[in-house]
A and B are shown apart, each in its own frame.
Chain A
Amino acid sequence: MYKITRKKVLAPGVVEMGLHAPRIAKAHKPGQFLMVMNREDSERVPLTIADSDPGKGEVTIVFLEVGRSTIELGEEFNEGDELFAVVGPLGTPTHVEKFGTVVVMGGGLGVAPIYPICKGLKEAGNTVVTVIGYRKKEIMFWEEKLRSASSELIVTTDDGSYGEKGFVTDALRKLHDGGRAIDRVIAIGPPVMMRAVSDLTKPWGIPTWVSLNTIMVDGTGMCGGCRVEIGKESKFVCVDGPDFDAHIVNWDEMFARMKVYTLEEREAILANHECKLHLDNIRR
C-alpha cells in the first residue's frame, strides 16, 4: 500500500498529492511518470512525477480531475489514505545535457511536469527560460516553485488577468522575434498546445520536444495501447517516450487515438458522479 502523505487543492479541480514511494523517489529522473490505482478494481492512471524527495521517500503528483479515476482520487482520497498501487518511475527520462538556452513551456496542468525538467536543465548549466500559461489568474499554481527552478520566468493568462495576456505560443513568438537565440524548446500541456508549439518552431528549425499523453493500460510496454506514429514508425509512448521530437509526431493520429474510449468514459462518469468536470478551468 502507498500512503498519501499530503494533499492540497491548488485550484478548482487541480490537486497536488505527496505519495510515500521510496523506491520511485530514489530512481526518478525528470520526464518520468508513474501509474496509480486508487483501489483494487480501479484503472491504472498515468501521472507525471512532478517532484521527488528521496530523503523523505516521497513523490509529488499534480492532477486535473477530468474523469472517473481522477475525480475519485481528488474527491474521495485524503491525506493518510492508502492507494492500492503506485508503480514507477516509467518511461525514458527527458534528455538532459548542456544545450545553451532552453525554453521550457508548460500549459495548464503541464506546469507541474516541467518542474523537474527545468531543475535538471538548470543544474546541467543551461539558461532555462520557462513559459507557463493558465486560462486565468484564479487557477494559477506553482509560480514561485517554477521561478526558483528557472533562469527566467514568463507567465501568460488567456484573459490577461495576470502576467502577459495571451497564449504560451504568443510568448514564445515574442522571444523568437525579439532575436533571442533558442537552442531547444520543450513543451508539455494539452495536445492542442503542444501541437501549436510544434507548428510554430518547425519553420524556425528549433529542435522541439513534447511529452505525449496517450491512453495507457499497463505503462510498461506490454499492450501497445499507447502506440502512436513517430516519423513513420509506430512507437510505444510508455517505453519509447513519453518525450518525442515534436516535428515528426503524427499529430492527427495522436488526436484520433485519444478519443478511443470517450463514449464509455462519459457513461462511467455519468453513472458515478454528478457531472463535475473541471475541464473548463484549464486551457485544453
Chain B
Amino acid sequence: MAETIDIAALGGVKEGEKKRPRSKDKRLEIACQTVEKRITNYDEVALGYSPAEAVAESMRCLECPKPRCVVACPVHIDIPTFIGLIARGKFSEAAEDIRQYNALPSVCGRVCPQENLCEAACIINDTNAHNPIAIGRLERFSSDWQLLHQDREAAHVHKKPATGFKVAVIGSGPAGLSCAADLAKMGHGVDMFEALHKPGGVLMYGIPEFRLPKAIVQKEIAYVRSLGVNLECNVVVGRTMPVQEVMDAYDAVYVASGAGFPNMMNIPGENLNGIFSANEFLTRVNLMKAWSDNPAGTPVRKPRKAVVVGAGFTAFDVVRIALRLGAEEASIVYRRSREEMPGRGEEIEHSLEEGAKFILLTNPVKYLGDENGFVRGVVVQKMELGEPDSSGRRRPVPVKDSEYEIECDLVVVAIGQTPNVLIPSQLPGMATRWGSVIKVNRETYMTTVPKVFAGGDAITGAATVILATRAGREAARAMDAYLRDPGRTWNSPA
C-alpha cells in the first residue's frame, strides 16, 4: 500500500522549508473511547493520533541539538530526528529510524512509562510545564503507520549473509524477540522456543487488549519470523527438552524466560476460592480470551465486588478488567500512598475515570471465607509511612488496632512476579540472586555458564518492556562477538 501524504495540507514542514516550532502550544491530547463505551468492551482505549494530529504535535518539538529526551530513553532513540521526519510527512521513514534503536516501537509507544523516561526529560517542561512533547504517542503513530502502509520485508536488505552459527533463544517476550531479530539480521540461524501456545510473553498474556492490541503484537512477531527466525511454541525448555540438550545442539543460547512466577502474601485464607494471582486472572482473560464469552474457552469468575492488592502495572490492568467484567465495585488496596504508586500515569488516570476506587495506606492481613470455601471478605489494616527503605520510598508501618473488613467476592493479588527457577535449576553452574534471578556479566550478558547468555526480566526481576528490549539487543551484539571469537574471556564475574 503506497502512502500519499500531503504534508502542506497536514500543516507540516514542506521540502526545503525551515521548521518553526510551536513549543508554546499545549500538548495534544489523544482521542480515547468514552468511559461509558469503553467500560463495556475490550477494544483499545487510546485511539491514537490522526496524521494531522501527529504532524501538529511534531511541530511543537524544538529538535534540540543536545536532546535531553534521548539521554532519558533507555535505548536512546534519536527522538528529534524521528519527530522531524513526522513533521516532514515521512512517517514510515520515522518508524524505520526508530527501529535502529528499538525493535518494538508500536509496543513501546503504547506501554512505556514515558512520564518517567523520555517525556520527563523533555526541555519543553522547563518553559511550558506539564506539556512535554508526546514522544510515545508519536512513536506509536509512526510505527502503526508503517505496519499498515509499508511492506516491511523490504527492510530485509539489511540482513547479512549466513554465518553458519546456530543460536537458541528461550522465551518469546520482548527480550527474546529483539535478540532473535538482531541475531537473524547478523546472519545467524535462530531457533526460538516458547512454552505457551502463543508467542509474545507478557505482551500477550499480561497486558490487556484495551491497552495493547494483540494484532499489533502478532504483526511484530510476524516481522521477526520473516527475518528467518524459526519460532516453535509449546516447548518448555527444561521439560520438553532438557536444558543440556539445547546446550549441546547450539553454538550459543539466550535465556529470556521472563519473570513469570507470581508472588503471594502467604497470609491466612489466601487459598480460598475466588483469590487469584494477577498472572492467573490476566492469563485467563487475555491469553485464554475469557473476556470473549467464548463458550468453549477458559472461564473467569465474574466479580460483584473486587479487591486488587498492589499498585503496579499489573494491578491497574486487573482492576480495569474487573470493571469490564461487570464489577459494581473494584478497589485497589495499596499499602503506601498515591505518590508511591509504581503504575504508569495514564493507566492510573484511566482507572479512576472508569470508576476504580483507591484504598490507600491499607494492607490485607487475612481473608474470610464462606461455608463453601469461597472468599467473602478481606480483613485489612491501616498503614502509615515511616522512614525511607532501600527503594528510597517511605516504609509503610501498620497502625495499631486499625483493622477492619472489606466485603468482596474476588481478590487478585498483584504484588509482583519473580523469575521461574526451571532453567537455572537444570544448570548447576548458573549463579543466581535470591535463587531465581540469573546473574550475568554486565557487559557481555553471559551467565556463569559458558555460551549461555540471558536478559530481560529473567536477569532483573519484573521490569519494563523497553529494558527487556534493550537487553535483547545488547545481548545479540555480545553474542555475535562471542560466536566470532569464543576464545576471549566472556563470563568473568560482573
Hey, which bits of chain A sit against chain B, CB under 8 A?
A: 23-24, 27, 37-39, 41-44, 68-69, 72, 84-90, 217-218, 220-225, 227-229, 234, 239, 253, 256-257, 259-261, 264-265, 268, 271-272
Which residue of A has the minimal Cβ distance to B281?
A: A223
The answer for the CA separation of A272 and B276 in the assembled complex, in Å, is 27
Taking A23-B241, A227-B264 as given, write out 17 further A-B residue pairs in contact, using a Cβ cutoff of 8 Å, ordered by the A residue number: A43-B288, A87-B195, A87-B197, A87-B234, A88-B240, A89-B239, A217-B284, A218-B283, A220-B196, A220-B236, A220-B239, A222-B283, A223-B277, A234-B271, A257-B271, A260-B273, A272-B295
Distance (whole angstroms) from the CB of B303 to the closest CB of chain A: 13
Which residues from chain A contact B372 at a C-beta distance below 8 Å? 256, 259
Which residues from chain A contact B277 at a C-beta distance below 8 Å? 223-225
Which residue of A has the minimal Cβ distance to B289?
A: A41
Q: A-side binding surface: helix, strand, loop or mixed?
A: mixed
Q: B-side binding surface: helix, strand, loop or mixed?
A: loop
**A234:B273 contact, CB within 8 angstroms:** no
The answer for the CA separation of A218 and B420 in the assembled complex, in Å, is 14
Distance (whole angstroms) from the CB of A227 to the closest CB of chain B: 6
Which residues from chain B contact A227 at a C-beta distance below 8 Å? 264, 271
Distance (whole angstroms) from the CB of A70 to the closest CB of chain B: 12
Which residue of B has the minimal Cβ distance to A221?
A: B420
Which residue of B has the minimal Cβ distance to A224?
A: B277
For the complex, is B397 an interface residue (Cβ under 8 Å from A)? Answer: no
The answer for the CA separation of A68 and B294 in the assembled complex, in Å, is 12
**B295:A221 contact, CB within 8 angstroms:** no
A268 and B299 in contact (CB under 8 A), knowing A217-B284, A223-B283, A225-B280? yes
**B280:A224 contact, CB within 8 angstroms:** yes
Distance (whole angstroms) from the CB of B296 to the closest CB of chain A: 6
**B261:A43 contact, CB within 8 angstroms:** no
**A265:B240 contact, CB within 8 angstroms:** no
Cβ < 8 Å to A, chain B residues 263-300: 264, 266, 270-274, 276-277, 279-280, 283-284, 288-289, 292, 294-299
**A234:B296 contact, CB within 8 angstroms:** no
The answer for the CA separation of A259 and B277 in the assembled complex, in Å, is 18
Which residues from chain A contact B233 at a C-beta distance below 8 Å? 85
Identify 17 residue pairs between A and B in the complex whose beta-carbon atoms are under 8 Å apart, listed by A's number: A27-B241, A39-B296, A44-B288, A44-B298, A85-B197, A87-B195, A218-B283, A220-B420, A223-B262, A225-B277, A227-B264, A253-B373, A257-B273, A259-B273, A260-B273, A264-B301, A272-B296
**B240:A224 contact, CB within 8 angstroms:** no
Contact digits for B224-247, partner A, Cβ 8 Å, 1 yes 0 no: 000000000111100111100000
For the complex, is B310 an interface residue (Cβ under 8 Å from A)? Answer: no
A41 and B294 in contact (CB under 8 A), knowing A84-B197, A221-B260, A221-B422? yes
Distance (whole angstroms) from the CB of A241 to the closest CB of chain B: 14
Which residues from chain B contact A259 at a C-beta distance below 8 Å? 273, 372-373
**B236:A90 contact, CB within 8 angstroms:** yes
Which residues from chain B contact A86 at a C-beta distance below 8 Å? 234
**A228:B271 contact, CB within 8 angstroms:** yes
Distance (whole angstroms) from the CB of A283 to the closest CB of chain B: 24
Distance (whole angstroms) from the CB of B363 to the closest CB of chain A: 19
Which residues from chain A contact B271 at a C-beta distance below 8 Å? 227-229, 234, 253, 257
Find B264's partner among A217, A224, A256 (CB 8 Å cutoff).
A224
**A224:B279 contact, CB within 8 angstroms:** yes
Find B299's partner among A90, A221, A261 (CB 8 Å cutoff).
A261
The answer for the CA separation of A88 and B236 in the assembled complex, in Å, is 7
**B279:A27 contact, CB within 8 angstroms:** no
Which residues from chain A contact B196 at a C-beta distance below 8 Å? 218, 220
**A265:B262 contact, CB within 8 angstroms:** no
**A225:B240 contact, CB within 8 angstroms:** no
The answer for the CA separation of A37 and B294 in the assembled complex, in Å, is 14
Hey, which bits of chain B sit against chain A, CB under 8 A?
A: 195-197, 233-236, 239-242, 260-262, 264, 266, 270-274, 276-277, 279-280, 283-284, 288-289, 292, 294-299, 301, 372-373, 420, 422
Distance (whole angstroms) from the CB of A234 to the closest CB of chain B: 6
A217 and B280 in contact (CB under 8 A), knowing A222-B262, A259-B372? yes
Pick the 6 closest A-B CB pairs, nearest first.
A256-B373, A223-B280, A264-B299, A222-B260, A87-B234, A224-B277
Which residues from chain A contact B296 at a C-beta distance below 8 Å? 38-39, 41-43, 68-69, 72, 268, 272
Distance (whole angstroms) from the CB of B418 to the closest CB of chain A: 11
The answer for the CA separation of A27 and B245 in the assembled complex, in Å, is 11
The answer for the CA separation of A69 and B294 in the assembled complex, in Å, is 12
Which residues from chain A contact B260 at a C-beta distance below 8 Å? 220-222
Which residues from chain A contact B197 at a C-beta distance below 8 Å? 37, 44, 84-85, 87
Distance (whole angstroms) from the CB of B268 to the closest CB of chain A: 11
Find A27's partner among B239, B272, B373 (CB 8 Å cutoff).
B239
The answer for the CA separation of A260 and B272 in the assembled complex, in Å, is 9
Which residues from chain A contact B294 at a C-beta distance below 8 Å? 41
Which residue of A has the minimal Cβ distance to B276?
A: A225
Distance (whole angstroms) from the CB of B435 to the closest CB of chain A: 14
Distance (whole angstroms) from the CB of B22 to the closest CB of chain A: 48
The answer for the CA separation of A84 and B272 in the assembled complex, in Å, is 32
Which residue of B has the minimal Cβ distance to A270?
A: B295
The answer for the CA separation of A44 and B290 in the assembled complex, in Å, is 12
Distance (whole angstroms) from the CB of B368 to the closest CB of chain A: 14
Distance (whole angstroms) from the CB of A203 to the closest CB of chain B: 27
A217 and B239 in contact (CB under 8 A), knowing A222-B260, A260-B273? no
Which residues from chain A contact B279 at a C-beta distance below 8 Å? 222-224
A221 and B261 in contact (CB under 8 A), knowing A43-B297, A88-B240, A256-B373? yes
Which residue of B has the minimal Cβ distance to A268?
A: B295
Which residues from chain A contact B297 at a C-beta distance below 8 Å? 41-43
Distance (whole angstroms) from the CB of A240 to the closest CB of chain B: 11
Which residues from chain A contact B295 at a C-beta distance below 8 Å? 68, 268, 271-272
The answer for the CA separation of A50 and B170 in the assembled complex, in Å, is 28
Find A222's partner among B261, B274, B288, B292 (CB 8 Å cutoff).
B261
Distance (whole angstroms) from the CB of B60 to the closest CB of chain A: 43
Which residue of B has the minimal Cβ distance to A84?
A: B197
The answer for the CA separation of A87 and B232 in the assembled complex, in Å, is 11
Which residue of A has the minimal Cβ distance to B197?
A: A85
The answer for the CA separation of A239 and B423 in the assembled complex, in Å, is 13
For A27, A224, A261, which residue has the most chain B Cβ atoms within 10 angstroms? A224
